[in-house]
Amino acid sequence: MEKFVPEIRKRHKQKQRKTLFLATAISAVGIACLITGIILVVKRNSSRCEAPNVQKSQSGKTVGRCSYSKEAKRAGLVAFLQRVQDKTFEVQPFLIAQKPKVSASEVQQKYKVYDPSPSTLRTVTDTAKNLLEDLNRMVIEEKKLKSRERKVLAQLRHYLKHVFGTPFDGDYYFGDFKSWTKCILLATHLHCWSVVREVLTLFQTF
Protein backbone atom coordinates (compact mmCIF):
# COMPACT_ATOMS: atom_id res chain seq x y z
CA MET A 1 0.00 0.00 0.00
CA GLU A 2 2.88 2.32 0.87
CA LYS A 3 4.27 1.86 -2.64
CA PHE A 4 1.17 3.45 -4.16
CA VAL A 5 1.16 6.49 -1.84
CA PRO A 6 3.76 8.52 -3.83
CA GLU A 7 1.93 7.77 -7.07
CA ILE A 8 -1.40 8.83 -5.61
CA ARG A 9 0.14 12.05 -4.33
CA LYS A 10 1.68 12.68 -7.73
CA ARG A 11 -1.67 12.24 -9.48
CA HIS A 12 -3.34 14.46 -6.92
CA LYS A 13 -0.80 17.22 -7.51
CA GLN A 14 -1.27 16.89 -11.25
CA LYS A 15 -5.03 17.31 -10.86
CA GLN A 16 -4.49 20.35 -8.65
CA ARG A 17 -2.19 21.90 -11.25
CA LYS A 18 -4.69 21.27 -14.02
CA THR A 19 -7.49 22.78 -11.94
CA LEU A 20 -5.35 25.79 -11.05
CA PHE A 21 -4.33 26.28 -14.69
CA LEU A 22 -7.94 26.02 -15.85
CA ALA A 23 -9.15 28.50 -13.20
CA THR A 24 -6.35 30.92 -14.12
CA ALA A 25 -7.20 30.67 -17.81
CA ILE A 26 -10.91 31.29 -17.17
CA SER A 27 -10.09 34.28 -14.92
CA ALA A 28 -7.77 35.76 -17.53
CA VAL A 29 -10.40 35.42 -20.26
CA GLY A 30 -13.04 36.97 -17.98
CA ILE A 31 -10.81 39.94 -17.09
CA ALA A 32 -9.94 40.44 -20.77
CA CYS A 33 -13.64 40.45 -21.71
CA LEU A 34 -14.42 42.89 -18.89
CA ILE A 35 -11.67 45.31 -19.95
CA THR A 36 -12.77 45.08 -23.59
CA GLY A 37 -16.37 45.81 -22.60
CA ILE A 38 -15.36 48.83 -20.51
CA ILE A 39 -13.27 50.23 -23.37
CA LEU A 40 -16.13 49.81 -25.83
CA VAL A 41 -18.61 51.50 -23.48
CA VAL A 42 -16.24 54.43 -22.87
CA LYS A 43 -15.63 54.87 -26.59
CA ARG A 44 -19.35 54.75 -27.31
CA ASN A 45 -20.17 57.32 -24.63
CA SER A 46 -17.34 59.64 -25.62
CA SER A 47 -18.38 59.68 -29.26
CA ARG A 48 -22.14 59.63 -28.72
CA CYS A 49 -22.68 63.33 -29.27
CA GLU A 50 -19.84 64.25 -31.61
CA ALA A 51 -20.77 66.15 -34.75
CA PRO A 52 -19.42 63.60 -37.29
CA ASN A 53 -21.68 60.88 -35.92
CA VAL A 54 -24.81 60.81 -38.05
CA GLN A 55 -27.55 58.35 -38.75
CA LYS A 56 -30.10 58.02 -41.51
CA SER A 57 -33.77 58.23 -40.75
CA GLN A 58 -36.44 56.13 -42.46
CA SER A 59 -37.06 58.93 -44.95
CA GLY A 60 -33.45 58.71 -46.12
CA LYS A 61 -32.43 62.09 -44.72
CA THR A 62 -29.20 62.31 -42.76
CA VAL A 63 -29.90 63.38 -39.20
CA GLY A 64 -27.44 64.12 -36.38
CA ARG A 65 -27.53 61.44 -33.72
CA CYS A 66 -27.71 64.02 -30.95
CA SER A 67 -29.71 66.67 -32.76
CA TYR A 68 -32.87 68.05 -31.16
CA SER A 69 -36.26 66.82 -32.26
CA LYS A 70 -38.59 69.00 -34.31
CA GLU A 71 -40.93 69.29 -31.32
CA ALA A 72 -38.14 70.53 -29.03
CA LYS A 73 -37.25 73.21 -31.56
CA ARG A 74 -40.87 74.16 -32.24
CA ALA A 75 -41.77 74.48 -28.57
CA GLY A 76 -38.69 76.55 -27.84
CA LEU A 77 -37.21 74.01 -25.43
CA VAL A 78 -33.72 74.40 -26.87
CA ALA A 79 -33.66 78.16 -26.30
CA PHE A 80 -35.24 77.75 -22.85
CA LEU A 81 -32.49 75.36 -21.74
CA GLN A 82 -29.90 77.95 -22.67
CA ARG A 83 -31.89 80.61 -20.85
CA VAL A 84 -31.97 78.52 -17.66
CA GLN A 85 -28.22 77.97 -17.85
CA ASP A 86 -27.57 81.69 -18.32
CA LYS A 87 -29.88 82.65 -15.44
CA THR A 88 -28.34 80.03 -13.15
CA PHE A 89 -24.90 81.63 -13.32
CA GLU A 90 -26.29 85.17 -13.52
CA VAL A 91 -27.98 84.99 -10.12
CA GLN A 92 -25.33 82.68 -8.65
CA PRO A 93 -22.04 84.13 -9.95
CA PHE A 94 -20.02 82.26 -7.34
CA LEU A 95 -20.71 79.11 -9.41
CA ILE A 96 -19.47 80.57 -12.70
CA ALA A 97 -16.43 78.25 -12.72
CA GLN A 98 -18.82 75.31 -13.16
CA LYS A 99 -20.34 76.72 -16.36
CA PRO A 100 -19.73 74.44 -19.37
CA LYS A 101 -16.91 75.66 -21.63
CA VAL A 102 -16.32 78.73 -19.48
CA SER A 103 -13.17 80.72 -20.17
CA ALA A 104 -10.74 82.10 -17.60
CA SER A 105 -11.55 85.65 -18.66
CA GLU A 106 -15.29 85.09 -18.13
CA VAL A 107 -14.64 83.72 -14.65
CA GLN A 108 -12.54 86.79 -13.80
CA GLN A 109 -15.21 89.15 -15.08
CA LYS A 110 -18.32 87.55 -13.60
CA TYR A 111 -17.19 85.79 -10.43
CA LYS A 112 -18.51 87.17 -7.14
CA VAL A 113 -18.21 85.70 -3.68
CA TYR A 114 -21.19 83.87 -2.20
CA ASP A 115 -23.74 86.31 -0.79
CA PRO A 116 -26.01 84.76 1.88
CA SER A 117 -28.09 87.91 2.40
CA PRO A 118 -31.90 87.48 2.35
CA SER A 119 -32.29 89.93 -0.54
CA THR A 120 -29.95 87.91 -2.78
CA LEU A 121 -31.60 84.68 -1.68
CA ARG A 122 -34.99 86.09 -2.62
CA THR A 123 -33.73 87.11 -6.07
CA VAL A 124 -32.44 83.58 -6.69
CA THR A 125 -35.68 82.00 -5.47
CA ASP A 126 -37.93 84.29 -7.50
CA THR A 127 -35.81 83.73 -10.62
CA ALA A 128 -36.19 79.96 -10.30
CA LYS A 129 -39.93 80.21 -9.68
CA ASN A 130 -40.43 82.55 -12.65
CA LEU A 131 -38.52 80.18 -14.92
CA LEU A 132 -40.64 77.28 -13.70
CA GLU A 133 -43.83 79.22 -14.42
CA ASP A 134 -42.56 80.01 -17.92
CA LEU A 135 -41.74 76.34 -18.46
CA ASN A 136 -45.20 75.24 -17.32
CA ARG A 137 -46.80 77.70 -19.73
CA MET A 138 -44.91 76.25 -22.69
CA VAL A 139 -47.00 74.00 -24.94
CA ILE A 140 -44.86 70.90 -25.40
CA GLU A 141 -46.13 67.63 -26.88
CA GLU A 142 -43.92 65.31 -24.84
CA LYS A 143 -44.84 62.25 -26.90
CA LYS A 144 -43.04 63.80 -29.85
CA LEU A 145 -39.85 64.42 -27.88
CA LYS A 146 -36.92 62.04 -27.90
CA SER A 147 -36.49 59.93 -24.76
CA ARG A 148 -33.45 61.91 -23.61
CA GLU A 149 -35.38 65.15 -24.14
CA ARG A 150 -38.24 63.91 -21.96
CA LYS A 151 -35.67 63.02 -19.32
CA VAL A 152 -34.10 66.49 -19.51
CA LEU A 153 -37.55 68.09 -19.26
CA ALA A 154 -38.36 66.14 -16.09
CA GLN A 155 -34.98 67.01 -14.57
CA LEU A 156 -35.44 70.67 -15.50
CA ARG A 157 -38.81 70.87 -13.74
CA HIS A 158 -37.33 69.27 -10.63
CA TYR A 159 -34.28 71.56 -10.77
CA LEU A 160 -36.35 74.75 -10.97
CA LYS A 161 -38.99 73.59 -8.49
CA HIS A 162 -36.23 73.16 -5.92
CA VAL A 163 -34.54 76.51 -6.59
CA PHE A 164 -31.65 75.48 -8.81
CA GLY A 165 -31.19 72.25 -6.88
CA THR A 166 -31.08 73.82 -3.37
CA PRO A 167 -34.52 73.05 -1.86
CA PHE A 168 -33.79 74.04 1.74
CA ASP A 169 -31.18 76.74 2.38
CA GLY A 170 -31.61 78.01 -1.20
CA ASP A 171 -35.34 78.72 -0.89
CA TYR A 172 -36.04 82.20 0.50
CA TYR A 173 -39.66 81.38 1.35
CA PHE A 174 -38.62 78.27 3.26
CA GLY A 175 -37.15 80.66 5.84
CA ASP A 176 -33.98 78.67 6.37
CA PHE A 177 -31.79 81.77 6.04
CA LYS A 178 -33.04 82.96 9.44
CA SER A 179 -30.90 80.35 11.17
CA TRP A 180 -27.63 81.49 9.55
CA THR A 181 -26.71 83.52 12.65
CA LYS A 182 -27.17 80.47 14.79
CA CYS A 183 -25.14 78.48 12.30
CA ILE A 184 -22.20 80.89 12.45
CA LEU A 185 -22.20 81.22 16.24
CA LEU A 186 -23.01 77.69 17.35
CA ALA A 187 -22.47 75.57 14.20
CA THR A 188 -25.67 73.67 14.96
CA HIS A 189 -27.56 74.48 11.76
CA LEU A 190 -28.60 71.40 9.78
CA HIS A 191 -27.30 72.74 6.46
CA CYS A 192 -24.14 74.53 7.64
CA TRP A 193 -21.97 72.11 5.69
CA SER A 194 -23.56 72.76 2.27
CA VAL A 195 -21.86 76.05 1.33
CA VAL A 196 -18.52 74.89 2.76
CA ARG A 197 -18.76 71.75 0.65
CA GLU A 198 -19.47 73.78 -2.50
CA VAL A 199 -16.47 76.00 -1.86
CA LEU A 200 -14.21 72.99 -1.38
CA THR A 201 -15.57 71.49 -4.62
CA LEU A 202 -14.78 74.72 -6.47
CA PHE A 203 -11.18 74.66 -5.18
CA GLN A 204 -10.80 71.10 -6.49
CA THR A 205 -11.70 72.22 -10.02
CA PHE A 206 -8.60 74.43 -10.27
Residue 50 has pLDDT above 90, yes or no: no
- Specify the pTM: 0.60
User: For the residues of 57-95, what is the DSSP string, one character each?
Assistant: -TTS-EEETTPPPHHHHHHTHHHHHHHHHHHHHHH-GGG
Q: How confident is the model at residue 177 (pLDDT cuts 50, 70, 90)?
A: low
Share of the chain above pLDDT 90, in %: 39
In angstroms, the CA 169 to CA 163 distance is 10
The residues spanned by each domain of the chain are: 4-48, 70-204
Whole-number pLDDT of residue 137: 95
Q: What pLDDT does 124 receive?
A: 93
Q: Cβ distance 95 to 165 under 8 Å?
A: no
Sign of the torsion formed by the C-alpha atoms of 181, 184, 187 and 192: positive
Rg (CA), the chain: 29
Other CB atoms closer than 10 Å to residue 89's CB: what's the count?
19
Give the separation between CA 126 and CA 170, rounded to whole angstroms. Answer: 11
> pLDDT per residue over 68-113, tens digit each?
999 999 999 999 999 999 999 999 999 999 999 999 999 999 999 9
Statement: residue 203 has pLDDT above 70: no
- pLDDT band, very low/low/confident/very high, at 25 (cuts 50, 70, 90): confident
